[in-house]
Structure 1
Amino acid sequence: MHIGFDISQTGSSKAGCGYFAHALIKAMIELAPEHRYSLFPSFGDFYFDSMMPILNPYSGREVHYGPRHLTRETARVFWTGAGAEASLGKPEIIHANNFWCPTQLASSRLIYTFYDMSFAVEPAWTTETNRVSCFDGVFRSVMAADWVVAISEASRTQYLSVFPHFPEDRIRVIYPCSRFADSSAVGKRPKALDDVPAGSYWLNVGTIEPRKNQRRLVEAYASYLALGGAPMPLVLAGGKGWLMEDFQKHLVELGVEAHVMMIGYVSDDELIWLYRNCYANLYPSLFEGFGLPVLEGMQFGAATLASNTTSIPEVAGDAAILIAPEDTEGWAQAMLRLAGNRLERDQLSAAALKQAGRFDWKRSAEALLQLYEEALASPKRRMAT
């Protein structure tokens, strides 16, 4: 089988979408090295990283790279042109992973990864440019995709609720998994936490942006401290996103700026240490296609408090305390209870390890390879009757 696979978001600054594509292609190459893999450093013009694939980790006897484009404009011209499919060698499968979706494929089976439509649920969670571009890609998938891969049952349900005419039997749930292969890794303490004892801080991982709900989290943390909660610092690990320019001012107004540590983007080794040594991992996100920080924290035994909405209960199972993301006081009370009950915290940690074991990249890659086989055995959707 000749598989064309979008790796455009798997560079050094990858986030959730990039980790999904990165781990799946690595697992497929390992499981099925006999296939021919054409990896696309650029895919469309919505997401563009001119450094791809200079620092790319993929290797294999039948692994090749598609065209590398140095500008967004040259990428756009190539990927929207009528000759793109032929120029790529007419792969039997073309898998889109970055929201952008081609519509001109005549013979290749188009597989489209659908993450979520949070951008359409609440306009305040993102920018107008991102919202329009993401919706354009998802809308194109409804017209052109032969199969859709949803990253959770919640995402699948959302896709079909917005686009009820898409055939239900052509959308398949394939779960992401942790990026970390070694669950015994101890990681590396971030320098910013040199003076913070292990096991004595709250942790939140994710880009600082409205959808991740850090504004309410720090309000809950302020309430927790006011109620007499142990003064463990709150560590926010993640880069600064959009629409949060006044976040530092908000910390000052709440009087918690001295207790909140914003340590920015961290390395994988540092993230492992943070998960393994936090008192608890807090994930109050308002909307998630999957919620990778919940699973990754559980892999390293982090006791978890998380939102009870969208896909997060699928990931957390019975191994976390689930709270409505808008319930600031509920979060404060849950933190207060857990801080005063080490036994419950340790029980959550043990349950987290067990829950994390239910997700495995090998199983996900096997499911995706099977979907490819089914796609090749089926007519292209636009020709189906």
Structure 2
Amino acid sequence: MSVGLNASILRAPRTGIGHYLAELVAALSVSGELQVNLFTGFGWQSELPAAPLPGYSRWAGLAKRWVPNAYRVRRWIEQKRFEDGLRRQPVDLYHEPSLWPFEFDGPMVMTLHDLTHVHYPYTQPADRLVEIERHAARGVERAQRILVDSQFIGDEVCRYYGVPAERVVVAPLGCAARFHPRTAEQLAPRLQALDLRPGGYLLCVGTLEPRKNLQLALRAYERLPAALRQQYPLVIAGMPGWRPEQLAAPLRRALAGGQVRLLGYQDDTSLAELLAGARLLLFPSLYEGFGLPVLEAMASGTPVILSGSSALPEVAGEAGFYIDPQDDRACAEAIRLLIEDQAHWQRLREAGVLRAQEFSWERCAAITASVYKQAVGC
């Protein structure tokens, strides 16, 4: 079976969906049963792009600012390229891993990772939100099968779009091999360059946007005794998101104190080492369709303090330290406990490593391949 996959998101630095796509394609290729063709936005190819397109984020930002109806113009151009390639090399099935499926006259599978555009529309530019709503609804209507990362999102898709449950399939995400426990000696070169010590900092990971609830993390951190903040800086790793001005004032105050550090986007290797070296991951997100950093932290031997909401309990299970994402006092108490109570920290560390072993990209790929066969047979 030949499958066409929209891989245009890999032009940008990889975040959640980009990692999903890259790991899924690699796992699907192992069996040799599928021929996967990737649409990059410019054309079709069989190999994953080795790196993001240089300067893509900057040029994309300029286009959005200066080109009228930039999203629609780009989409029209890409649709033509998409169709031209398929005329030369047809595929049996089209898989759209995001919210913007192309027009395709054949069986289609769509992955819906979350419904952020429904619950948090203010996290998207207005013109982009219009296009998301239009393309997503049309894609859900056309798709023979809809893949979701969690049962939580599956239930949301059924309720919001009125999709029959038999069309929705849960394919939990996996964890790349680079996420694993590491010794202090293994971590020393990377962390020393950042003036950090193994086990001596707290970590937040995620795009800097309101949904990730960084404000709560900052307020909770400010509640810690000065001596603990001096010993355990709060390190934030993530790309700027939409409407960063909502975080500007709290971040400026936190950064001015010198105990909160903003690292920006981290490549795969750097992030894996940062996760393995942290005392804990603080992940108070208000809404997640899965929460990949939670799984990656657990696999790295790092306990996680996280919200007990949306899909996060499906990922962390009993290995997570759950908090109310609105309660900064309880969050501060949880941080302090995992710093000061070594036995409790060790129990969560061991439970997290075991929990992470229940997830794999091989399993995700096997479920996905099965869904492909179902969709073609519809």
> Is 3-12 or 144-153 further displaced after alignment?
3-12
Task: Measure the CA separation in 2 of the matches of 1:78 and 1:248.
Answer: 35
Counterpart mapping for 1:1-385 below 5 A? 1-11=1-11, 13-31=13-31, 33-42=32-41, 56-57=49-50, 73=73, 76-77=76-77, 79=79, 87=87, 89-103=89-103, 105-106=104-105, 108-164=106-162, 166-181=163-178, 183=180, 186=186, 189-190=189-190, 194-225=194-225, 231-245=231-245, 247-253=247-253, 257-378=257-378
Question: How high is the sequence identity, in percent, across the aligned residues?
Answer: 26
Contact 1:189/1:274 (8 A) holds in 2: no
Partner of 1:381: none
For residues 211-255 of structure 1, the C-alpha deviation after alignment (integer angstroms, 9 at most, x for no partner) is 111111101110123697774100001122221225343245468
In 2: Cα distance, 1:144 partner to 1:113 partner: 13
Q: Say if 1:90 and 1:330 are closer, same or farther in 2 by CA, change over 3 A.
A: same
* CA distance in 1 between partners of 2:260 and 2:148 (Å): 35
Which consecutive residues of structure 1, in runs of 5 or more, have no partner in the other structure? 43-48, 59-70, 379-385
The answer for the alignment partner of 1:68 in structure 2 is none
CA 377–222 in structure 1, closer or farther in 2 if over 3 Å, else same: same
* TM-aligned CA deviation for residue 363 of structure 1: 1.2
Structure-1 residue corresponding to 2:59: none
CA contact (8 A) 2:180 2:276 kept: no
CA RMSD across the alignment: 3.0
Measured in 1, the distance between the counterparts of 2:280 and 2:346 equals: 10
Provide structure 2 residue ranges, at least 5 long, that are not aligned to the other structure: 52-69
Distance 1:35 1:224, change over 3 A: same
Whichever residue aligns with residue 129 of structure 2, its letter is R
Aligned residue pairs, count: 356
User: Aligned equivalents of 2:140 and 2:267: distance in 1?
Assistant: 37
Whole-angstrom distance in 1 between the partners of 2:5 and 2:188: 33
1:267 Cα offset (Å): 2.0
Pair 153,214 (structure 1): closer, same or farther in 2 beyond 3 Å: same
Deviation (angstroms), 1:359: 0.5
Contact persistence 1:78–1:84 (CA under 8 A): no
CA separation of 1:308/1:138 partners in 2, compared to 1, >3 Å: closer, same or farther? same
1:197 shift after superposition: 1.9
Whole-Å separation in 2 of the counterparts to 1:262 and 1:254: 10
Evaluate the alpha carbon distance shift between residue 143 and residue 88 of structure 1 in structure 2; reply closer, same or farther with a 3 A threshold: farther
Distance 1:226 1:256, change over 3 A: farther
Q: TM-score, normalised by structure 2?
A: 0.85
Change in Cα spacing, 1:193 to 1:120, as seen in structure 2 (3 Å) is farther
Q: Structure 1 residue 28: deviation in Å?
A: 0.6
Whole-angstrom distance in 2 between the partners of 1:229 and 1:37 = 49
